[in-house]
Amino acid sequence: MRTYIDKERILKKRQLSAREYIEILESQKAPGYKELKKFRQCFIYEQQYFMVETFLNIDGQPSLLRIETSKERSEIQIPAFVQVLKEVTENNNYSG
């Protein structure tokens, strides 16, 4: 579960049974929405953890670079080998 308290992202995790997992998947399906299939690659650069998620069933197979950190945005170093086409951090169309 992801929540925000005073603009701080709080992530709570717990282990689910197989039955709970299937029930949650079924309850979150929205009619008319497409299920995303993605391939995730992770790497560490300058002591920062990055995830590249490539969406396999979307035209053009776009990728997103995800960074989960407690650092301020100005402190994050994007690797020189990553070409950023668009910043989507505050764009709700890319949240999930």
Would you state the pLDDT for residue 5? 80
> Is the confidence at residue 94, as pLDDT, over 70?
yes
- Please say if the pLDDT value at position 13 is more than 90: no
Backbone φ and ψ for 84, nearest 5 degrees, come out as -90, 120
Task: Reply yes or no on whether the pLDDT at 96 is more than 70.
Answer: no
The stretch 11-37 carries a mean pLDDT of 85
Q: Does 17 score more than 80 pLDDT?
A: yes
Order of all β-strands in the sheet with 48-55:
38-45, 48-55, 63-67
Q: What is the per-residue pLDDT across 20-30, written as a single tens digit (0 to 9) for each?
A: 989 988 888 77
| pTM value surpassing 0.95 | no
The answer to whether 57 and 34 have CB atoms below 8 angstroms apart is yes
Q: How does pLDDT run across 38-82, given as a tens digit for each residue? A: 999 999 998 889 999 999 998 999 999 988 777 777 788 888 998
Confidence of residue 33 (pLDDT cuts 50, 70, 90): confident
